[in-house]
Structure 1
């Protein structure tokens, strides 16, 4: 095993696995990941690892701060992860079929969780405003609010198509168009005649059909790219993909889903005639699966026929309690978990669940933790069985979740029906909450943050004075807009906002590193101090533009020698801060690192900047300000 192999392996695992890595670069101190979903990365676990200084999430990047030896760690991560600059890696571990299904569904759904939560809550608020009489269902405000809340769900195939395309390594906007075609009003839910055969399918609010179609489209797109000439590839590949996949999907997948729904509906009707209790258990326990696979709409449509005629039906009643079982599980996880990211997902998910919108709870919280999802299904089945035992019926279409209950109150026995509803609520919520609270455990992480494993020089024998490498206004390190520097994770020092673009050597030293993007220079002074000069914030993204470096690695320089010239005005116009940290990365080898001037003073290049007190020295007469103050 190489020196950094285990570190690289652990980093890949904790950023969510190779399948979660879109891209990876590095700067002079940190690995800069682009992840599909930062929410599944184990940030706390990474921070607690030996060899990791800290983790920063900035500028659209997931940054794992390593220290001076980041090039070696980067190379090992690329080797261990079998990553390259153009392709994503294979999954980090061999998964079972069930694990692959969950990974696929979660990976497709997770990016849409926030808007799903928002949509569910908005729909619930709209119903509250209508029920309280503040709005009517005919008012423009209610219609607009309902449309905003419903848009994410009605047009869900568009969202899912985009996310699924990314998951299947296909052009994302091609997946989006496939989803958009499925919900186009001219073909959605209308009769279409193909070669003498009639097809009618409705895809709004569905999930599985567009996933299957994108799964078929992805290899087709890749194959077309290999056989179509480059001169026409740009438009012919997406055109042929759409022309082939959408008709096949519309004519085969939709009718198949409708057939499955019809069989299920007829089976449930027969089961209800035989045993309402058993039918309620089956409906309550499987409803979330039916919704996930998009085969539930036939049941809803069948139930609407008697309701439209003013007759009650028992077909919808058992499924109302499922959202409460799911919500109870999420509340238990929210209360028990110490994972801040999970709690941040769970809070809006259970609020949305109260209003009957459980997709955020399912895909963001319980489905990735299969035991919790099973508990919610069992809770829904228990409540559905009790609902069947009590003979509850739906008399009118209501809202979802809490607002579905008024639709179950009859005019003759509203009090009895309300009592029955309370019993079903209790059966759905209490066992689900208790089981989830008792059985849920956070994934184990190591508490605390260890010191960074950064190679350092031997204990030093004398003090070192560093001169300022630039002219400008000093800035306390704690005020730098980068947590790794501000928290001292990379070492103590100071920063400055330069007034000109000349950068000089802070001491007699040997150049250790000149980063390819020219935004950072590392030196080791003749006395053993390791110094990092980081030119600006996030300037790595400029890829060397506006930087002119005058030295190279292993070159020896004298204090005051010109290291670089930079165009600070051009960099600022490009939207980047030029605040430049100067830190001693082997701070642990010194008793103290002391600033010669206060943090907001003006300084000229060449003037004394920092004094590094060696361990065998007594810092007795120091009239300067300690950097840590």
Structure 2
């Protein structure tokens, strides 16, 4: 009986059906889909499913965040889709350049093998603790047997990477593993004086590495396609594996082995030089402060290959894993500050839950459930995490294995290095307390921004208990109701109430007085925090994020103070339509729930300064 069958079936239906799924993999907390047509996915409905934390749609993938049990969900999902994991990466990815595609492959290939790597890291910490207590001697057979597990995981890292990468790229995992096992054999691995076809081979140690086999498996995908194309169907079962391996072994030893080896050495040398001449304190401070933003971009695991290389080369990671833990704990501290500050029982329950998960090393629920909404916690983590990272960098904290979060702290003992552990604990405390204090001081916006001031856009009605904020149009054209907008995320009102405008002219105007809170890098959306606390999002066109700023000329920057009717942008709507996109300008109030109601005007032609909606506020009662 499948535990997640109903849940997975709902996802399949809402994401556009089986035929819309081109590939699917998973990481620590999320399912990462490559969809044939993202427009078919009903994102807001997926977000509302019980068991879904959030949905992130970016150039990397369509990501559904479900939590740390994602592996179990994924296994059942693959069975229901009727595909093997080996088919996940066989399709071409659209709208992605080579660098993004390469990073995507590396990240998604690392995800499945984190389980044995984390296991080996925590086992190393456990063995250090046990040996220091005197219960087991490092020379005892029992210690050596368990230590063999730790050593084996890193020694045979090329085999794990071969299996994972082969599945990701649609290559036979068994042939990939056979290739990895061959280069790890005693007759090749680290052997000096080898030659192939009279060509001398450099002495390369393939154990504890991953880049050579990663490159080789990538090339194996192309070789497989060519061989299958030229070998008759009747002979493929016999000849295809042989021909693939006859090509791949020389190619690996002559090209990809040396290339991967020197590339790995180059990566290690770069970060060693960076930390030597700039300082590990700078790297750790920066990464500890910025990790939540990196996670939001879906790029949280891109550092794992670098970490694996550093540990394989130095025996420890001098920067990144420590920074991950420090940042995670800072996220937990920021959420604790909100937990202590809020008086809303529902919010207190949310903040308490995400505090615990962040401390344990899973920050996605906090980042997508709280940070994106309130934004101020980012400041708290940047300050708290930055201070903790700075301390860890100055004191030279090292991570001896890949393990993060509260339970990963024993991994800092290393070979009896308790000083390193206590320094890391101190860094974690600094980040936690610092972020908690800052978030407590900054407060919860929805509660602290309730007091409003009179402004030109405010209209007080006959009922003294209510007042109204009026928004003027953001573009000249035909005003339409939000339900008529051809975008599920907006038309359902899930992102907030508002209106749509079918533009007749190319100018975008500020609908309120306020401050520009955000200008999206792709220039298709502008956020304004009004003087009355109203959070206005102007979304120009549907799916125009794919244009990457083409046809948009934005005239303001984040932090600028704007007045109602001020020009914000010039947009070439004619070219947008020619490129096949809907030009509708959408104006919504993202903090709709903070008000009694948001009432749109009826459908009509609107010109500069014409009202498009009214926000109804409850007047404070006199005491």
Q: Same fold (TM over 0.5)?
A: no
Q: What is the TM-score when the length of structure 2 is the normalising length?
A: 0.43
Q: What is the TM-score when the length of structure 1 is the normalising length?
A: 0.42
